[in-house]
Amino acid sequence: MNEEKTKAMRVRSGHIVIHSRLVSFLYNLMRDHMPVGDVETLVQDAEDEPDVIYTNGWLANYAADLADRLSDKK
């Protein structure tokens, strides 16, 4: 997309500033790596599963570390 089209899209969509590591991560994920519908499905699945028994403890600990690092609660 050229610079003029990018500027025009910004004008149409609004000037949005959000100070959140998690929002930044999700935005980049959906913009560059995963379809929005897939992310929404994962979020809905996570909302429905409060207590999860993980089969890979190393991966679960890494996921917890990432969540802590993206948390805005410092």
- For the chain, what is the domain count? 1
User: Which two tokens mark 14?
Assistant: 């609004």
Q: Of all helices (H) and strands (E), which one includes residue 53?
A: none
> pLDDT digit of tens for each residue in the chain (74 aa)?
689 998 898 889 988 899 999 999 999 999 999 999 999 999 999 998 778 899 999 999 999 999 999 998 76
Contact (Cβ atoms closer than 8 angstroms) between residue 40 and residue 30? no
What is the reported pLDDT for 6?
Answer: 86
Domain assignment present for residue 38? The answer is: yes
Q: Please, how many CA atoms are within 13 Å of residue 4, restricted to the half-sphere of its CB? A: 0
Domain assignment present for residue 48? The answer is: yes
What is the reported pLDDT for 1?
Answer: 67
Phi and psi based region of residue 14 (left: phi greater than 0; alpha: psi -120 to 50; beta: remaining): left
What is the reported pLDDT for 14?
Answer: 86
Q: 65 lies in which domain range?
A: 17-70
Domain assignment present for residue 7? The answer is: no
